[in-house]
Structure 1
C-alpha cells in the first residue's frame, strides 16, 4: 500500500521534532489490557504480544521504508485496532506517523475522500482551512499530549478538524470530523524537562507562548497514531443553518436563503432535487410577493409576466391557508394540474414529483418549502424526512424575514416622522442619502445606524419612597371614602326599612378594618369592586327614589371623583407633587442639554420613571466634523456631578412648596470603557451592542435599589450623590471632581467609600457617596 503524504516542505515545522514509527507502544498497551481483562480477549492479546516479542527488532524504531518488511505485524495492528465489522469501502480510517501528514495504512474511502482527484498524496489544505489553522491545531494537539503526560494537566483543547469535501457520488458537499488517537505514541524528552507549574501553563495558554516554554526540539515521538473520520454532515448542516438564521440581515437575506436551500439539498443527498424556502410577507394584513424570493421559486419562478405570477401567488397562499397537511405528488399529471392550478408551470421545468410544505407559527402562515424532483416517485417519505428535523430552524428563518420586513417599514417611518437629536441626525441623513442614491436601493435596505467606541454616562434622579407614598395616598383615599359611606349608611338605616343597608354597612366596616398599613393588590381590588358594583348603583338608585336623602347623597357624589367614582384627592396631591418635581427636573435637564452640546456634540436621552433617568453618549463617531479628545469626556463627567448637586438643591427647595413633601435621591454609574450603540427600531432609541456591553445595561437596571453591604441601608439617600463603579481607577477620576466641588463648597467635605451587596449576576461593585451643600447659592 502506497504511503499518502503532503507535498514535501509544506509543513516546515515538522523538522523541529524527531518522529519514528514503532510498534513498542502498541505492544505495551496490549500487555496492560491482557493484565486487566479476564475474558477470552486476554488470551488473544497474549498471542499478539508473543508474536511481536519473538522478533525483538520489530520493537525498535522503524523507518517508513521498513514497513514492507513488517507487513505481517502491521496486519496484526490493523486487525486489533479496527473492528471486524469495519468496511474499507464505507468507513474512513487510517494509521499515520506521529505529527506527520504521512498515512501508511488507510481504508479505501479514506483515500477516496482525502486525496486530490487524479493526483497522488493527500489534499494540500482542507477546504475552508488556512495553513495557520492547520499548524495551530497540530501543535495544540501535541502540547495537549505533553502537558497531560508529563505535568498531569488536563487541557480542554478540541483538536478535531472539520473537513468538507464534494461527494463524488452526489456532487454535494459533505462534512467529516477528523480525530487523532495518540494512545500508541510515546513522547520522549531529550535532556532535562523544564519546571512548569499550573499558573505558568494557564498564563502561557497560547500555542506560541507554549512553544517558548517547551520547544518541540526538546521532544521526540515514537509509535503511530490512529486517524478516524466521522461523517458529521447532519450536525454541521444544523450549525450552518443556525448561523444563517442568527446572522441574516436585510442586506444578506436573499443570499442566506440561497445557502439555506443548498444546505437542505445536501441533506437530501441528490443534486437533481431542488429545494426552495420562501417567506410570505404581509403589508396591512395582506400577503405581498417579494420578487427577490419568487424568482428562484419552483412554482413562481418565471420571467416577464408579473400579473400571472401574482395570480399564482394568491392561489398558492389561499391553498396553504386552507390546507395544513403537506401536498405530496408522486407523479405530476393532468389531474394534479387541474386540482392544483398554481402548479401549471412545473411540467415545463421538468418536474415530475413534488412536495409542498406550508410553514406556520402561532396559526400565522410564514412561508413554504418546495421540493421538486425530475423523477417520478423521486421524493419518497424516507428521503424527505431527512430534513424534517430542520424545519424548526426554517420556521425561525421565516420569522426573521418577517422581522426584517417590519424593521424596513419602521425605518422609513422613523426617517420620515420621528424627530432626531441634531448630534446624531447627520448619520441618519447620510444613511438615507446613500440608500436613496444607491442604484440597488430596491434590493438593499438602509444600513444599520451604529455609533462605535462611545463613552456612556448614566444618571438617575429617583423620588424617595415613591411606592410607599403612593400606597399611603391610596389608603387615605379609601379610608376617607369608606368612612363617608359609613356615615351615609347609618343615616339611611334610620330612615329606611331596608335590611340590605345593614349588610352593606357590615361589608363596609369589614373592609375599613382590614385595610393594612401596606395595602396589597387583593385588598385594593376588593374595595374597588365594593365601591363600583355595590355602593355606586345602590346610592344612585336611592338618590333618585328618596328626595329626603338627596342632600346627603349629593354631598357624597360631590366628594368622590366624578370620572372614577372614588375619593381621589390624596392621590391627586401625590401625583401633582410628583409631576411638579419631574417637570422641574426635566426643564433643568433640557436647558443643560443645550448647554453641554456647545463644548462637544453628544447624544442625550432621558425618560421618566417615578423620577427621571438619562443616558449620555459621547465619542468621535458621534461628532461629524470635530476631533474628539478625552478632555470633553472629563468635562461632561464634571458637569454630571455638578448638575446632580444642582438638581438635589432644586428638589430640596421645592419640597416646601409641595402638598406632599417628596425628596429625591441622585445616582451616577461610572463606566470608563467605550461601548457600541445601535438604534433600535422597536423602541425608537439607542441601545448597547455586544455581550460585554450588555453587562453595563444590566448593572444600570439593578443598582437603583442596591444596599450597602452588611448594613441593610439603601445606597441612595436624600441630600447625597451616590456614584457606583467597578474599578478603583474609575473612582480616582471622579475623586478629583469631588475635591474640586468640595473646594467650591458645592459638596460637603466628607466622602464615604462603600462596598455594595451582590446583585443577581453582578458582584464586586463599589460606591462613593458624597453629601450636597443644600445652602449653596
Structure 2
C-alpha cells in the first residue's frame, strides 16, 4: 500500500528525513563531543538506509525500518519527556502517524480499538485547496496566511470528549514542482485570491500530483479541553432559535461534561420573573429545571431556603451542594432546593445566578447523580463560562420582549404589512428630528390618498334574538330549580320570607315568557345572587334533607358569573368559533390576494367577521397601480365571501348550536383618503365627504328593502350594496361569471333600499349562494342544504 492511495492532491507525498539529516551534518562540526557523536550515530543509520534520505511512500517501509526511524527521531521525541509530551510525526492531510510519544499512544489506547483518529475541523472539500496555498507560499514566495487551529476530539476513559489542539512544525519539509507543473503567474495568483471555493480553478492551476512533497511534519499536541469547552458554549449560545433544535440541549450537556470532566452531569435553567418574584420554566425542546422539577413556576421563597435565597438573589454568587443526601438529613428535608434534588435522585449540584448589572435574570443548574463530584472547588470553572450565558440570556430576554410587543401589535394594534413602510418612514423622521433638535417631536400624520375601499361582512343572522333566547332558557332553568327547592322547604318550615321569595320567582318566570326586556337579565341575576343564594345557604344548614338539592343547584352555577351559564355559553362559544374559523379562512386567503397586488387589509370580530380593504397607488409606494387590480380584488372578495359561507354551513354540525349567517358586500366607487387615528390605533376615513362611506358601512346591513319590512341581508344569499349604475353593471358581470362556475344561483334580484339617515339612492344585488363540498359534485341552495342537514 502507498501513502498516496485514495488521495486526490496536488502533492505526491514522500516521507523523507533529508532536511533533518542535513541539520545533523552541521552538528558533527560542533565542539561538543557528545553532540557530534550523537550526530554521527544518526547519520550512520541514514547511510545504511539511503531510502530514509531519498524518501518513500510505501507503508511497508514504516514496518521494516521502524527501529531505524525511531533512532533518527530519538532527539525529536525525547525518551525523558515521552510520557508527558503529546507529540507525533506524520505527513500532512493524513490521520496516519508513524512515530508518537508514549502519552499520545496512551490517549489513543484509552479511546478504544474502534476509535479512528480524525481532524474534526478540516473540511474534506478544502484539503486540496489548502495544499495549493501551501505551494504558493513555499514555491512562489507569496505570503498567504491561512493559519488556523486544528483539533482532535478524543474520548477519555469515562467517555468524555477531550479536545486536543495541533500545532505543526514544518521545518523538515521540501516542496518541489514536477515537470508537468504549470508555472503560476501574478495574474493567476490574483485570480485565485477571489476564488477560494472554486475547486476546478485550483485544479487547473495545480493539477493532481504536479508537486512532490518530501519530508515530514511534527505535530505538537496540547489538551485544550477547558478552552474549547468554553468556546463551544459561546458558539452554542450565539445561534438563533437554538431552543427549537432537539439536539441543542444534548450537545449542551456534552460541552459541560467536557468542561467538568464528568460523564454523569445534566444542565438546567430557570428564569427569574422580577415582577412576581418567581422562578419559571424555560420553554424549549429538552429544557429542564431541576429547581422547579415538575412545576411551571414557583415563588422564589418556596424554591430556596433563606441562606440560598440570599446567596443567589442578593449576593449574586454561586453555591454547591456536594452531598445532597447528607444535607437533606441535616436540614430534615426543610431546604426546598435540596428536597427537590433529593426527590429527583440527584446527589450533588451547583446553582449559579445568571445576573447582569440590572440584577438576577435566571439560575443555571448543574446536577449529577454521583455525590461529591460537583462541589465548591470545580464550581469555579463557571467563572469563565458565565459571561457568555449572561449575554445569551440578555439576548433571549430582549428577543422575548420584542416578541411580546410583536404579539401585542398583532393582536391589539396591528399595523398591516402593506402600510408598514409608511410607519417606518415616519419613525425614522421622528428619530432624526429628535436627534437634531434634542426635543421630543410629534409623530406626523399618516394618511393615504386616492385609495379605493372594499368592505364585506359575514354576520350572525338574528344574533340578538338568539342570545335573548339563550338567556331566557338559562334564567328560566335556574328560577324553576330555585322554585322547586323553596316549595319543598315550605312544606317542612313555613316562613313568610320564603313565600315572598317564591312569589318573586313566579313573577320573574312570567316576565321571561311574556315581556322579556334588555334589563330583565340584570334584574333577575341580581335577585338570584343577592336574595336566593343567602337563603339557600341557610336552608342547607337548617334543613338537612334539602342539602342534596341545594348542592345540585349550586353545582349548575358558573363560579365567575354566579348564575347558570349553559345555553348562553353554547351561543357565545358558537359565535366565538364562527369568528375564529371565518377569520382564519379570510386571513389565509389574504396571503394569496396580497401576491396579486399589495393592498391594505384589516378585519374585525363582532357577531361575525367584518373586513376592510383599501387599494391604490399611495399604499403600494410604486408607480404600478392600474384599475384592473381593483376589479380583480372585487372579484376575489366575492369568491372568498362565498367560500366562507360554504365553510360555515358545511361544518355547521360541529358548532354547539345552529345559527344562520348572512353575507354582504358594500361597493363604493369613488376613491377616498384614509388616515391612522393615533388615539384609537386604527385607520379611518379622512374628511367630511368620505365620512358618508362610514355611515353606510355601519347602518346598511340593518336596512330594509324599500316599501317592505324585509331586511336587505338574508340567510343563504349574498347581498351587494351599491349606488351607481356602473357598479351594478360591473358586479352583474362578476355574478354571471360565478353563476357559470356554480358558485352563485341564477335568482338574481335588483332591489332598492330604504333611505338611511343622510344617505339616499342605495340599491342592492342579491343572489343565492350554492353550497357544496370537495367530495360532492352537487350544488345546493340554502333551503336545499337545510333539508339535507335535517334529513
When normalised by structure 2's length, the TM-score is 0.48
| Higher alpha-carbon Rg | 2
